[in-house]
């Protein structure tokens, strides 16, 4: 049986996609923090410690990426629904 997807729920699809991206970003935000703590640190010629590591960016990266991908997915769903009305949606076959 062929099935055609003619409409995608924008909010539900975007919510699932954003949460998935946020969860996948967690290891990617902890990894740089881990390597930063292994680094002995940078010093100026006067011997002062230099700490230019963007802690806040890596701490908030999962939330920022989740929000960004939520809105991008909403735009994709809106565009897909417009196109699917004109030419049809994704089509796939199922069997029981």
Answer yes or no: pTM beyond 0.95: no
Q: What's the confidence (pLDDT) of residue 53?
A: 67
Segment 1-9 mean pLDDT: 87
3-state SS string for the chain: CEEEECCCCHHHHHHHHHHHHHHHHHHHHHHHHHHHHHCCCEECCCCCEECCCCHHHHHHHHHHHHHHHHHHHHHHHHHHHHHHHHHCCEEEECCC
Whether 49 shows a pLDDT value over 80: the answer reads no
Residue 51 has pLDDT above 70, yes or no: no
């Amino acid at each position: 049986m062929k099935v055609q997807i003619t409409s995608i729920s924008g909010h539900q699809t975007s919510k699932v996609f954003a949460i998935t991206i946020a969860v996948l970003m967690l290891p990617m935000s902890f990894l740089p923090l881990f390597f930063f703590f292994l680094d002995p640190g940078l010093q100026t010629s006067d011997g002062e410690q230099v700490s230019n590591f963007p802690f806040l960016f890596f701490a908030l990266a999962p939330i920022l990426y989740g929000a960004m991908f939520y809105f991008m997915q909403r735009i994709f769903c809106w565009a897909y629904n417009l196109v699917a009305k004109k030419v049809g949606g994704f089509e796939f076959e199922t069997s029981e």
